[in-house]
Structure formats: structure tokens, C-alpha cells
Amino acid sequence: MSETICAVATPPGRGGIGIVRVSGPACRDVAQALLGFVPSPRIATLADFRVIDGEVLDSGIALYFPAPASYTGEDVLELQGHGSPIALDRVVSYILEQDVRLANPGEFTERAFRNDKLDLAQAEAVADLIASASAEAARAATRSLSGEFSRRVRELDQSVLTLRIYIESAIDFAEEEIDFLGDREQHDQLAAMEGLVKELIERSTAGLTMQIGLDVAIAGDPNVGKSSLLNQLLGEDRAIVTSTAGTTRDTLHGELSIDGLPVRLTDTAGLRLSEDPIEVLGMKRAEAALEKADCVLWVVEDADENAAPPEEYRVKTLIVRNKCDLTGSRPGFLGEESFRTCALTGAGLAELREGLKRVAGFRTGSDAFAGRPRHITSLKRAHGALLNAARELSARQGELVAENLRVAHDCLGEIVGVTTSDDLLGEIFATFCIGK
């Protein structure tokens, strides 16, 4: 890999800091040309970025990571300048005049991967990191990137392997006086693994939700305050709010972030019989929004006795008893999935936000993994197989315990790489003295 590559590493157009990253053997030359010196390895150094003996393009922090102790495994130079797209562009253009080409999308990560700096799961997590829309999701992605997700799955994979060594030995080497099927220990090990997978699923699912966020539809009868609720949650006058029933004729959207959890709100047209063609169209869109929502806020007037949402809602539904200023009842969380609010004043909305976080399985960034849907599917299948294995172990069906453990192992292998039967046999021979 002899080419040196360069690109702006921060998202275009945002932020107060813009980072230019250079990776490859020409890094020292680039530093010499642009800074007039090569910064000490891994020490943040204030410097002017300038054309040799000429004008200053920008100034900021320069960082030099010699190979192999860098993100890509190659020499890396990072220039943290000011966020201005024009300044960044000038720096990059100047670097490209040295023996450097522009990096392809994802090429830094690819090089890191190729230089064995990342395993596949980590590389995928980097892809997630880049795509992360929120700070919490970025934190979850970082944890996976640091290898914790990989490490946890690998540990689990190892536990399954260890148990399989015993079970498969008992089957294939029946005359070696190895029979562990009745051991209490095997039951305990299975139960522990099952718990671990379950936790991994929860944490990965939370991480996934942190990235993709929650689609929330606000629904309810006309004029119960749906649009006011949307406005209050968004903190802006997004919807036109009047006291005339049917004001919202189309769906209105808005995005907000609850402690980093991206929430996309859709205010649906009030559901009522109408002959106004525009309003009917609006209600059709409302139905569509309800179908793809992860969660529905069913808004009713607090004074209304019958607060039950329509039965056909299959998604998670939170009941919002609005206009509590009219009944004089205390706003807040009412238990189960009910809330009392006043959308005009914002009373009770803090509790509602917490409710949405619970729906998302919100965990603080220290606790969530950047799960990928594929990983979660594999983990869920592994979980099912481990439950079956425990059942068959109780029935002392050795070959079926083995079958379920094989399936579980294969599922985990989908994340961290498969263990072949030959690998398994190798472990058996290393563990037991087999052989007549």
C-alpha cells in the first residue's frame, strides 16, 4: 500500500472544527511541506498550516501518528483546523499537490481493516459511527469500535465452544469415560450463557434504536391538542394551532432529540368523518404514518372518560391525557402507559419524554452497543437455540443438546467468524486424552 491518501474527516458544512486526515508513507513529507516540521509522535502541537514560505492557509492542532500505532496502521497526519469549508478545501488542495491522492469514501477504515486494526464487526461499527446521527449513538458505536461488542460475543462464543467440547466428547468418545450430561455444572453454564446473550440482545437493540431513532405518530380525535403537543415537544411553531377541528389536514413532521435519542414525530390529521377531500387525503396519510410508526401517542382530553385507543393499533401506544389545565388535575406520569399533560404550558412533557425513552429501550451511552440488525438477528437465533439446549439437557437428550449448541455456535460465528467441526475436534484433543 504505497499511495498516500487524504480527505476531510469531519462532516461537510458543520461544526467549529474541521479535520483533515492524511494516511500513508508521504505523511512526513506533507508535514514538512505544510508545517515546516514533523510534529512529535502523538503530541498535539499548535501550528500554522501554510504553503512553504508563503501564506497561511489555516492554523490549528497538528497530530502525527507513526505506523503502526495509528488508526489505519499506516503513518497518519491529522490537521485540526477551523471548520470553514473554504479553509479546509485550501488545505486539502495544497496537500494533493504533494504525492497524495484524495481518499475514497471509507478508505481509511478499509485500510485499518486491511492492516488488521479492526475485525469485521468493528469495521461495520465504524460504518455505523460515520452514519450516527446522534451523540449517544456515536458513544455506543465507539464502545463497539473499541471491540467491546466483539469481545463480549467472542467470550460467549468461547463459552459455547467449551461446553460443546464436553458434550461432543461424550458423544464421539463414549468409551473414554467422559459423560457430563448429568452434571449440574452444564445446566448452570447454559443458564449463564442464555443470560449473557439476552443482555447482549438488549444492549445491541438499544444501540440500534439510538442510531435509527424512533418514529412516533401523534393520533387522536380532532381538536384534542395533537398539534400543540407536537409544537411543545419540538419547541417551535411547526403546526398551525387553532381551535377549529380539522385544522391539520396533512401530516406534519418534526425531529427532536431526547438525550440523544432521535425521535421523528408525525402529527396526524384528527380522525373524524369528513367530506372535505383534502381532509380525507390527510387522514389517509395519517393512516400510513400510523402503520410505520414504532410508537403512537394517543391523545385524548383529560376530561374524556373513555381514553382507550382504537383496538387495531398494533404498535406500542402511550395515552396522553391532554388539557389537564381544564380539569385541574396534576400533570405527570400516571403509571402503566398513561400521561397527563398540558400541551400549551408544557406541563407533564418531561415525563412523556422519559416514557418515549423507555419505549426505545433507552440506555445511557455507557451501556448500549452499536448493534447491527444482522447481529441482533444472529443473537436472537443463538438465544433460542440455547433455550432449546437447556430443555433437551433436562430431558438428557445428548444429541439434541449438541444440535442446539451447534446452531447457537454457528449463529455467534456469523458475528465473529465460524468455528468449524475441525476446530472443535482440535479443542477436544487438546482437552482430553482421547484414543485407544
Q: Catalog residues that contact another protein under the rule CB under 8 A.
A: 110, 113-114, 116, 119-120, 123-124, 168, 170-177, 181, 374, 395, 397-400, 402-403, 406, 413-426, 429-430, 433-436
The residue among 271 and 434 lying less far from another protein, judged by its C-beta, is 434
Query: Smallest gap, in angstroms, from Cβ of residue 420 to another protein?
Result: 5
Per-residue b or e along 70-107, where b marks 16 or more CB atoms closer than 10 Å to that residue's CB? bbbbbbbbbbbbebeeebbebbbebbeebebeebeeeb
Q: Which three cell numbers stand for residue 317?
A: 401506544
Query: Smallest gap, in angstroms, from Cβ of residue 431 to another protein?
Result: 10
Q: Long-range contacts of range 159-163, CB-CB < 8 Å, 24 or more positions apart?
A: 159/189, 159/192, 159/193, 159/196, 160/193, 160/405, 160/408, 160/409, 160/412, 161/409, 161/419, 161/424, 161/427, 162/189, 163/189, 163/190, 163/193, 163/405
The residue among 1 and 135 lying less far from another protein, judged by its C-beta, is 1
d(CA 87, CA 191): 58
d(CA 320, CA 332): 10
Query: Smallest gap, in angstroms, from Cβ of residue 259 to another protein?
Result: 32
Query: Smallest gap, in angstroms, from Cβ of residue 391 to another protein?
Result: 11
CA distance readout (Å), 91 to 107, 211, 358, 388: 19, 32, 45, 59
Query: Smallest gap, in angstroms, from Cβ of residue 398 to another protein?
Result: 4
Note whether 251 and 289 are within 8 A (CB): yes
The residue among 130 and 171 lying less far from another protein, judged by its C-beta, is 171
The residue among 94 and 108 lying less far from another protein, judged by its C-beta, is 108
d(CA 404, CA 391): 10
The residue among 29 and 172 lying less far from another protein, judged by its C-beta, is 172
The residue among 177 and 312 lying less far from another protein, judged by its C-beta, is 177
Query: Smallest gap, in angstroms, from Cβ of residue 141 to another protein?
Result: 17
Query: Smallest gap, in angstroms, from Cβ of residue 119 to another protein?
Result: 8
Query: Smallest gap, in angstroms, from Cβ of residue 414 to another protein?
Result: 5
Query: Smallest gap, in angstroms, from Cβ of residue 126 to another protein?
Result: 12
The residue among 114 and 238 lying less far from another protein, judged by its C-beta, is 114
Sign for the pseudo-dihedral over CA of 205, 210, 215, 217: positive
Amino acid identity, residue 140? A
Place of cell 424512533: 214
The residue among 140 and 415 lying less far from another protein, judged by its C-beta, is 415
288: nearest Cα among 320, 266, 317, 256: 266
d(CA 221, CA 223): 6
The residue among 333 and 432 lying less far from another protein, judged by its C-beta, is 432
Per DSSP, the residues of 136-199 read: HHHHHHHHHHTTHHHHHHHHHHHHHHHHHHHHHHHHHTGGGT---TT-HHHHHHHHHHHHHHHH
